[in-house]
Amino acid sequence: MAEPSILLRDDVDGIATLTLNRPDQRNALSLGLMTALEHQIDGIAEDPSVRVVIIGAAGTAFCAGHDLREVRADQRREAYETLFAQCSRLMLKIVRLPKPVIARVQGVATAAGCQLVATCDLAVAAHSARFATPGVNIGLFCSTPMVALSRAVPRKQSMEMLLTGDMITADRARELGLINRVVPASELEAATRDLARQIASKSPLTLAIGKEAFYRQAELDLEEAYAYASGVMTRNMLARDAGEGIDAFLAKRAPEWTGE
């Protein structure tokens, strides 16, 4: 009997849902699971039928971080370098994917799992979800999760999470900006899909331009950000979809996007 896939994919209405499928290991990010995620993201980047991605998880937990048993099985420096380089590459691919990515979070999202949530463009969580960067409790500071966390959460609050390792509630995570919405667990899948459908109805070209511009301008100083954004606006205005969107708005009709 074939082993179940550690990553599932389901495409409906322009939305690709990737489901972490290691529930017995609380969906820990093994090398195999990260490789599968990278492979799917690479394919989605080239797939014009996909407009939005949802990353969810099977079982009671979203993701408990790296697979610590796997980590301890090979204690060579080269193995650690490979592991953290792959994780960093995966997170960068999510940010650079020209399509919005939404995390759908239930249960715990800790360490690299919290990093994954912080890396996604948006996140919807169940009321019961919990978040932490608890590496400090086992002598391993969450340095790579810190990169994504400190870009999503204000400095004092992200530092508190990193230094204490304490769990925070979904409501607190929303207050801090780590996630966007909190819903009852029974409504999590529907609420996430509704948000994905709303975004998928927009011009795919505009979404790609906007996502890239958002992350690039955030790393610039104010004057450079305005200069860069002005160039992006000009390029966007010259696109067919922008003209179509404006004309449709003025004519009070629905736009017909071509992605051009």
Domain membership of residue 121 (yes or no) is yes
Closest CA to 121 of 62, 183, 170, 54: 54
Do 141 and 211 lie in one domain? The reply is no
Note whether residue 257 is domain-resident. Answer: no
Residue 259 lies in a domain: no
Same domain, 144 and 173: yes
In a domain, 1, yes or no: no
Together in a domain, 181 and 220: no
Which pLDDT value is given to residue 3?
Answer: 61
Contact 177, 120 (CB under 8 A): no
| pLDDT, position 2 | 53
In a domain, 25, yes or no: yes
Does residue 164 sit in helix, strand or coil?
Answer: helix
Same domain, 220 and 164: no
Examine the domain organization and report whether 236 and 114 are in the same domain: no
Low-confidence stretches of the chain (pLDDT < 70) are 1-3
Tell me which residue range forms the domain holding 246: 204-250
76 and 99 inside one domain: yes
Domain membership flag for residue 258 = no
Q: Are residues 102 and 166 in the same domain?
A: yes
Residue that is last in its domain, among 178, 200, 222 = 200
Tokens coding 71:
């980590």
Q: Are residues 236 and 177 in the same domain?
A: no
List the CATH number of the domain containing 110: 3.90.226.10
Q: Which of 158, 180, 200 is the last residue of a domain?
A: 200
Question: Alpha helix locations (H) across 75-221?
Answer: 77-96, 112-119, 143-152, 155-164, 170-176, 188-200, 204-218
Whether 211 is in a domain gets the answer: yes
Tell me, yes or no, whether 123 and 232 share the same domain: no
Specify the pLDDT at position 180.
98
Model pLDDT for residues 185-236, shown as the tens digit of each residue: 999 999 999 999 999 999 999 999 999 999 999 999 999 999 999 999 999 9
Answer yes or no: do 164 and 195 share one domain.
Answer: yes
150 and 58 together in one domain:
yes
The number of distinct structural domains making up the chain is 2
Q: Is 58 exposed, middle or buried (0-12, 13-18, 19+ CB in 10 A)?
A: middle
CATH number assigned to the domain comprising residue 231: 1.10.12.10
- For residue 189, tell me if it sits in a domain: yes
* Number of other residues whose CB lies within 10 A of the CB of residue 220: 13
Q: Are residues 74 and 156 in the same domain?
A: yes
Of 179, 200, 221, the domain-final residue: 200
- pLDDT for the residue 259: 85
Q: What Rg do the C-alpha atoms of the chain give, in angstroms?
A: 19
- Cα–Cα separations (whole angstroms), residue 181 to 101, 141, 166, 170, 184: 14, 28, 21, 9, 10
